[in-house]
């Protein structure tokens, strides 16, 4: 991979003007920021755009724009045209087509590495950046934000593989550190009871989703919840207080029969940025990634990228406003999906949000549903939402247990979408597709067979 990164770096060096095309999510923004900063430092003429999905229309437009070089980041894995009509390099981590031209792709799947947890789009982009100049090691923190934005630390409760190598670069450069701590979201910005209330990996029986239960749980443990007028956050607690809470959560899970493996998931590696102030949304990497997501998914990726590039005034303020809106939308989206009703089939479950949930957050909602106490996690969850163009977006989310049994949502969605004149792909555990409106029922029928095959053929083996 390092050799290929060097080859792509050479192509960048030899180009006068470079146009970056990146994905609108946290990983895509982080990837775009790395590419942009790298080109700035090189003094190259550059531009950037953010897109939801790479389709023929976009490719045709790019061709007509006649760029010296197009640098695709966190997308483009499926580009396989050999017509040389666009000079390009592609740093992506999504599953590739079998017939890609190796000369301009840097993708973990081409090196027998799983792009779902070994390295992110921002990570592969970083490898090229580092090849261009070792000094760009200080951008490694963006690669870690991208990886955590794509939940690459979920399976192992920490980053692994190439991501760990990148993390080491970040530690060497003094920009990031890792520590072992509780893995729940909001360690630095949420009151402790809120952090417990929103916990979902694992779900805390009797606590997740229940505010007053979380408050009395902490009170019973003798934890002081307020410091003057301020709610105490996890990072405000003493070591002993944290120990007491962790051990009581562990006891609760074990008593409910969750088993050691699942119980251990409350603890893992967390990552914090040395150059940010503790207690704001940018210090903890996961929170930073969520902040980026809440800019990208509302069509404001320029806000996110400016925060990545260092703005802590105007753009950060706007990002915070967007984050507030994003949280509100997720709460409403969850509510909406539950009211619409989750429909269960034998091998999958789904909801159709119509225009009730933005297509850019329907995947997050699907994932939250899959992780909520009252809904089974034994079946993959699909969420449908109408797009602006009159198509339908499908987001599919699975669990690690299902993947271990053979589930590959990327393969399944790609195949079924193609049969219905749509496009799909992604990762085994999380994938998406866009299909023509009206084809939803057909899509579900064919996909269900596909999932059944995946789960059963591997059982037999
Ligand atoms: Mn990505």
CATH of the domain at 117: 3.90.1640.30
Same domain, 120 and 232: no
Same domain, 266 and 381: no
What is the Å distance from ligand 1's center to 27 Cα? 5
pLDDT value for 281 = 93
Does residue 444 belong to any structural domain of this protein? yes
Same domain, 59 and 161: yes
- Burial-class residue 408 by CB neighbours within 10 Å (0-12, 13-18, 19+): buried
Supply the CATH number for residue 416's domain.
Answer: 3.10.310.40
Does residue 279 belong to any structural domain of this protein? no
Same domain, 258 and 381: no
Same domain, 223 and 260: yes
What is the Å distance from ligand 1's center to 349 Cα? 25
pLDDT value for 458 = 55
What is the Å distance from ligand 1's center to 228 Cα? 42
What is the Å distance from ligand 1's center to 149 Cα? 8
Same domain, 170 and 113: yes
Domain tally for the chain? 3
Does residue 332 belong to any structural domain of this protein? no
Q: Which residue has the tokens 């929170």?
A: 287
Angle separating helix axes 362-370 and 314-340, nearest 10 degrees: 60
What is the Å distance from ligand 1's center to 387 Cα? 21
Same domain, 171 and 231: no
Pairing of strands 381-386, 349-352: parallel
What is the Å distance from ligand 1's center to 278 Cα? 26
pLDDT value for 84 = 60
Does residue 312 belong to any structural domain of this protein? no
What is the Å distance from ligand 1's center to 343 Cα? 29
- CA dist., res. 223 & res. 193, Å (int): 10
* Ranges of the chain with pLDDT below 50: 460-461
What is the Å distance from ligand 1's center to 386 Cα? 22
Do residues 323 and 290 lie in contact, with contact meaning Cβ atoms separated by under 8 Å?
yes
What is the Å distance from ligand 1's center to 115 Cα? 9
pLDDT value for 83 = 56
Same domain, 129 and 196: no
Whole-angstrom CA distances from 121 to 74, 117, 291 are: 4, 11, 18
Does residue 277 belong to any structural domain of this protein? no
- Burial-class residue 235 by CB neighbours within 10 Å (0-12, 13-18, 19+): middle
Q: Which residues surround ligand 1, an ion (CB under 5 A)?
A: 27, 74, 121, 150
Final residue of a structural domain among 241, 270, 299: 270
Neighbours of 278 (CB within 10 A): 12
Q: Would residue 332 be called left, alpha or beta, if left means φ above 0 and alpha means ψ between -120 and 50 degrees?
A: alpha
Same domain, 26 and 137: yes
Final residue of a structural domain among 144, 176, 208: 176
Same domain, 35 and 143: yes
What is the Å distance from ligand 1's center to 24 Cα? 9
Which residue range forms the structural domain that includes residue 90?
A: 2-176
Does residue 321 belong to any structural domain of this protein? no
Which residue spans within 260-305 are E strands per DSSP? 267-273
What is the Å distance from ligand 1's center to 207 Cα? 32
Final residue of a structural domain among 120, 148, 176: 176
pLDDT value for 461 = 46
Does residue 391 belong to any structural domain of this protein? yes
Does residue 278 belong to any structural domain of this protein? no
Same domain, 197 and 144: no
Same domain, 28 and 118: yes
């Amino acid at each position: 991979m390092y050799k290929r990164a060097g080859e792509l770096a050479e192509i960048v060096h030899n180009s006068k003007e470079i146009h970056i095309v990146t994905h609108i999510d946290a990983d895509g923004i982080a990837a775009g920021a790395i590419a942009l900063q790298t080109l700035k430092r090189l003094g190259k003429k550059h531009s950037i755009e953010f897109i939801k999905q790479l389709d023929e229309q976009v490719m045709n437009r790019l061709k007509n724009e006649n760029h010296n070089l197009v640098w695709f980041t966190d997308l483009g894995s499926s580009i396989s045209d050999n017509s040389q009509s666009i000079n390009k390099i592609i740093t992506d981590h999504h599953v590739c087509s079998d017939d890609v031209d190796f000369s301009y792709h840097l993708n973990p799947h081409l090196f027998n590495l799983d792009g779902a947890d070994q390295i992110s789009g921002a990570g592969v982009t970083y490898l090229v950046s580092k090849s261009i100049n070792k000094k760009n090691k200080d951008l490694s923190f963006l690669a870690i934000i991208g990886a955590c934005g794509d939940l690459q630390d979920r399976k192992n409760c920490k980053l692994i593989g190439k991501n760990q190598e990148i993390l080491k670069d970040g530690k060497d450069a003094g920009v990031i550190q890792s520590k072992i701590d509780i893995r729940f979201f909001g360690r630095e910005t949420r009151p402790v009871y809120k952090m417990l209330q929103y916990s979902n990996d694992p779900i805390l029986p009797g606590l997740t989703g229940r505010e007053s239960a979380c408050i009395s749980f902490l009170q019973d443990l003798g934890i002081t919840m307020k410091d003057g007028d301020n709610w105490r956050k996890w990072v405000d607690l003493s070591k002993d207080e944290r120990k007491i809470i962790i051990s009581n959560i562990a006891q609760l899970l074990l008593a409910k029969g969750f088993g050691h493996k699942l119980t251990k998931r409350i603890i893992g590696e967390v990552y914090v940025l040395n150059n940010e102030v503790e207690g704001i949304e940018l210090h903890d990497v996961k929170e930073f990634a969520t902040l980026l997501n809440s800019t990208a998914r509302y069509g404001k990726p320029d806000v996110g990228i400016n925060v990545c590039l260092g703005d802590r005034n105007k753009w950060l303020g706007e990002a915070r406003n967007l984050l507030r809106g994003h949280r509100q939308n997720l709460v409403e989206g969850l509510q909406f999906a539950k009211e619409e009703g989750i429909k269960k089939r034998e091998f999958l479950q789904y909801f159709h949000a119509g225009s009730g949930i933005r297509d850019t957050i329907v995947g997050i909602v699907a994932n939250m549903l899959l992780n909520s106490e009252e809904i089974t996690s034994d079946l993959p969850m699909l969420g449908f939402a109408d797009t602006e163009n009159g198509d339908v977006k499908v987001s599919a989310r699975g669990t690690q247990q299902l993947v271990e049994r053979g589930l590959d949502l990327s393969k399944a969605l790609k195949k079924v979408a193609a049969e219905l004149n749509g496009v799909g792909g992604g990762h085994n555990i999380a994938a998406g597709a866009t299909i023509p409106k009206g084809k939803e029922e057909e899509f579900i029928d064919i996909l269900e067979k596909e999932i059944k095959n995946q789960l059963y053929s591997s059982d037999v083996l």
